[in-house]
Amino acid sequence: MRTYYNRIAGQSLERLAALSDGIFAVAMTLLVLDLRVPVSTIRQPIMHEQELLSALTKLGPNILPYFMSFLTLGIFWVGQQTQLNNFTRSNRHLTWLNLVFLLAVTLTPFSTALLAAYITFRLAIVIYWLNIVLLGSMLFISWRYARHAQLLKDEVTEEIFAANQRRIVIAQSLYAFGALLCIINTYVSIGFIVLVQLNYAIAPRFGRLDRL
């Protein structure tokens, strides 16, 4: 009975895609909650344009992690959708692998808020990077498992499979290097990670960048 259930459970790619879209949408929306409108207080009243501008500049440490995390979620949403589009169907194990991936998605607003609050702390960068590692690892594992379980479409050649796998490995290597840069300065680390993300989001067609 249990074996039969495991065989028929979690086969709908449509339901998995719908759940993923909803969780990504909520996570992306939660990111913006750390961007609060400056409020005038008795000690710091906002009476003029210059005072408002000064208050807005204090949002800098929050805007940078927000922008970086929105790119992160956008890139991984595209990555997961690409995989789902190349699966013939799902099964119980593949569904749970994607649920763990979505767990990492739901953790992103927390790691972002932590980084925004402690942007000069190396530990905050490391925790944020571990969040990215979990996202990338689950995409890598689900892609490998899909081939092992023969869940990939016939048009997914060995070359396409290897290229997608290589893309994940290279991206994770670049993120790891970016995290290591926090030894120098956390802003240097964040800046490098943002550049990596812009490369994958914009996908420039020149030189070696087009191959990453």
Q: 12-65: per-residue pLDDT in tens?
A: 788 889 999 999 999 999 988 776 655 555 566 665 566 666 655 666 667 788
Closest CA relative to residue 19, chosen from 120, 148, 105, 115: 105
Q: State the pLDDT confidence band at 206, using cuts at 50, 70 and 90.
A: very low
How high is the pLDDT of residue 61?
A: 66
How high is the pLDDT of residue 65?
A: 84
How high is the pLDDT of residue 144?
A: 94
How high is the pLDDT of residue 40?
A: 53
Task: Provide the H-helix boundaries in the chain.
Answer: 2-8, 13-31, 49-57, 60-85, 92-117, 122-148, 158-180, 186-202
Phi-psi map region of 126: left, alpha, beta (phi>0 left; psi -120 to 50 alpha): alpha
Q: Per-domain residue ranges for the chain?
A: 2-211
Q: 184-193: per-residue pLDDT in tens?
A: 999 999 999 9
How high is the pLDDT of residue 64?
A: 82
Token reading at 116: 């925004």
CB 1, CB 85: distance < 8 Å: no
Q: 129-156: per-residue pLDDT in tens?
A: 999 999 999 999 999 999 998 988 888 8
Token reading at 83: 């995989």
Q: State the pLDDT confidence band at 67, using cuts at 50, 70 and 90.
A: confident
The mean pLDDT of the chain is 84
The residue with tokens 């960068």 is: 125
How high is the pLDDT of residue 193?
A: 93
